Structures are given as structure tokens and as C-alpha cells.
Amino acid sequence: MASTEVNTLFSVKGRVALVTGGTSGIGLMIAKGLVTNGAKVYVCGLPNDLIEEAVHELNTLGARCGGTAIGFSCNLTSKEGILQTSNKIRESEFSLDILISNAGIRRDPPQSCNVLTAPLSELQASLWSSEYEDWTQSFQVNTMAHYYLSVALLDLLAAAGDLQMPDGSKGRDHGRGVVVITSSIASLHNATNVDMMSYATTKAATDHLVSLLAAKFSRWYVRVCGINPGFVPSNMNPMGTGSGSDIFGDLVQKAPAKRAGGLDDLAGIVLFLVSKAGACVHGRSIAIDGGRTLFANGQD
């Protein structure tokens, strides 16, 4: 089979992956993309997440091509919890081909307003209502967890890159030993009709973390890449109703694609980054936003 054929170039068959926040939303979409292409995927989530249901769905999807899923609960808000997550992988694996560091949270101010139209007093009150602990927790999960988990698993990622392949090349030449961190287009624009200040700030830090980790890990060519999804339906970000917790309303229609991102969009970009196709991509982040950031600043 020629090296440029899709089944070779984008293959993840037999590779081992960990997807944090992999039981719902973007994480589950990514896990589906991996397991349906023959990967062994560990997914972790909060204890109250529907972990067993997600694992059952993933194993059903992966049955045809040999993909499998294993689920467990994790706590990514402390070094101790992150070490436990690392040790869970080490119980069964001597190397890790793919780390999808995806888990994230968003904490909106209790007192909301339309930040583009609110008078000064209303805007100031809304911004001030943001809880200090919400900022702390947001950085713990959205930024710090990516750092500590990548560091905790660095040796397993390096081991995947060092694997001897049948053709005499190394695993890294085929894309093995890669971290993909989920950020957001919230880090790429300044104006929106709702206040996501703490969320956007953590995601901007995460974008820079991608470059910092990539530089630190480069001697072993453990690749670190980022993805910046735009509007993607999830428990944290419901869409389509225009009311209640669907705080973005019809903004998705203002993106050139005029639709939200979905399974194929997320799975496609990740399969590129973690396979031989993306083996030369390192220290860079890719927006999957349907063109939203081309016009986002200054729009409602």
C-alpha cells in the first residue's frame, strides 16, 4: 500500500490514546473518531459523568475495526488527581501514542448582561459579579491540568515516539507520541455579546502553553498541538434553541459556514494531527470555527 493512501497516511489503528473529558461533547466526538479507526482509547470524566454509557457506545462503534474503549473517573484539579490518572494508564501501557487533553469548564458571571450594549453601571456590576473561585477553578482545569498531565505522561509519549516500526523508522515518524490540547476560538477574538472573560483568558493561556510545551518536549520530538473549536454543541455549550443556557442564540448563523461544528469536523482534524499525515506539525494550534473568527471582533 502506497504511503500516501488514506488508510496509511491517516491510520491510527492499534494506537493507544487517552482522552480527558472523553465521555461527552468534544471529547466524546474525538474518542469516536479514534475508536472507529481502530485505536485503543481510554476516556476519563467526572464521577457523575455517564462513563459506562459512553464506553459502551464507543466499544459498539469500534467493534467493526478493532477499536476499543476503557473508561474511568478522574480528578484533574490537583497534582495528586493528575498523578492518579497517569498511574491508571501505566497499569496497562508502556507507551502512549496520543494524549488528547480536552477536559474544560466555563464559569459565566452570575449577573449577566449584553456586554456590547449594557450601560457602564450594568456592565461593571456584571463583571464584578464574577466569582474569584470561578477564575481559580477555570485555570486549574483549562490550563494547569493540560500542563501537569502532559508532564506526567511525557516518558510514555516519548516511548511511543521511540518505537521501532517494521520499515526501520521510528514511531515519531508516523505521528506517534503527540499531545493535542483543546483550546477555543474564545482565545482568538475580543468581542462577543456575553462575558466569557475567565474562560477566554484561560484559553489564551492554553494557546501559549501549546508553544511552551512543544519547545520543552522538542528534544524528544514529543509533538504538542492545539485545536481551537468554535461553536460545537455540548453539555457546556448547548445550541439551536436560542434561549436559556443557549447563550449564543443565532450567532452560529453569522459564521461563514452557517452551522456549528460536529463529529466529522473534530474527528477529521484530530486524525490528521495524531497520524502520519500530521507528523510534521508541532507547536501549532488550528481553529475549527467555520470562519467565525474572520468576523467575530466587534460583532454581537
Residue 300 lies in a domain: no
Among 228-232, 240-244, 286-290, 296-300, which is the least confidently predicted range?
240-244
How much is the pLDDT for 258? 83
Residue 3 lies in a domain: no
How much is the pLDDT for 59? 98
Residue 194 lies in a domain: yes
Q: Render pLDDT for 43-70 as a digit per residue (tens, 0 to 9).
A: 999 999 999 999 999 999 999 999 999 9
Residue 288 lies in a domain: yes
Residue range 212-240: mean pLDDT, rounded: 87
How much is the pLDDT for 263? 92
Residue range 156-168: mean pLDDT, rounded: 95
Residue 133, phi then psi, degrees to nearest 5 = -65, -30
> 120: alpha, beta or left, given left = phi > 0 and alpha = psi -120 to 50?
alpha
Using CA atoms, how far apart are residues 170 and 168, in angstroms rounded to an integer?
A: 7
Residue that wins the pLDDT comparison between 262 and 40: 40
Handedness of CA 24, 273, 71, 40 (dihedral sign): positive
Using CA atoms, how far apart are residues 149 and 157, in angstroms rounded to an integer?
A: 11
> How high does pLDDT run on average in the chain?
91
Handedness of CA 185, 186, 188, 189 (dihedral sign): positive
Give me the number of domains the chain comprises. Answer: 1
Residue 27 lies in a domain: yes
- Helices (H), ranges, the chain: 6-9, 25-35, 51-62, 79-90, 120-128, 132-139, 145-152, 154-161, 197-217, 263-274
Residue 288, phi then psi, degrees to nearest 5 = -120, 80
DSSP 3-state of 228? strand
Q: Render pLDDT for 186-208 as a digit per residue (tens, 0 to 9).
A: 888 876 667 788 999 999 999 99
Residue 247 lies in a domain: yes
Residue 189 lies in a domain: yes
* Cell digits of residue 73: 473517573
Q: Render pLDDT for 81-115 as a digit per residue (tens, 0 to 9).
A: 999 999 999 999 999 999 999 999 999 899 988 88
Q: Which domain holds residue 203?
A: 11-294
* Cell digits of residue 143: 490550563
Q: What CATH number did the domain enclosing 72 receive?
A: 3.40.50.720
DSSP 3-state of 227? strand
pLDDT surpassing 60 at residue 145: yes
Residue 110 lies in a domain: yes
How much is the pLDDT for 51? 95
